[in-house]
Amino acid sequence: MARETVAVGADHGGYVMKTELARQLSEMGFGILDLGTDSDASVDYPDYAERVVDAIKDGRAARGLLVCGSGIGMSIAANRHPGIRAALCHDVASATLSRQHNDANILVLGERLIDSELAKQCLVAFFTTEFEGGRHERRVAKLG
């Protein structure tokens, strides 16, 4: 069975957490497509959101992970694209529900808002939870 590839991206405010979480995903058996940034030097978050979105849209990755300082900018940038359902999560419940009910395909986290341990728990919940389908399919279809 082929490993699912996850595209990961961050700006300078999320670089440290992105690096930790990419390692966690790899340990969970996922392939990693690291699309930067590769340091804490100032960069523009929309550029990295776009890279992850493009990787999902062109099939290089099945899902994505984006990290910035708050997660808000990355969420806004990613969700501008049809077919992208980026979920900014602050706890395990939101990460789980974003998959079960919304079929989210990008997990977004804010490095300045949640600690590393909680981020790892959100990551595990998001990437191990399946979409429930059923009554949720009609709603997700309306998202375009």
Catalytic machinery residues? 68, 101
Nearest-CA neighbor of 43 among 6, 79, 18? 18
Q: Which residues contact 121 (CB under 8 A, 6 or more apart)?
A: 92, 95
Q: Residue 118, Cβ neighbours under 10 Å: how many? A: 16
CA 118/CA 132 separation, integer angstroms: 24
For tokens 């929309």, the residue is 46
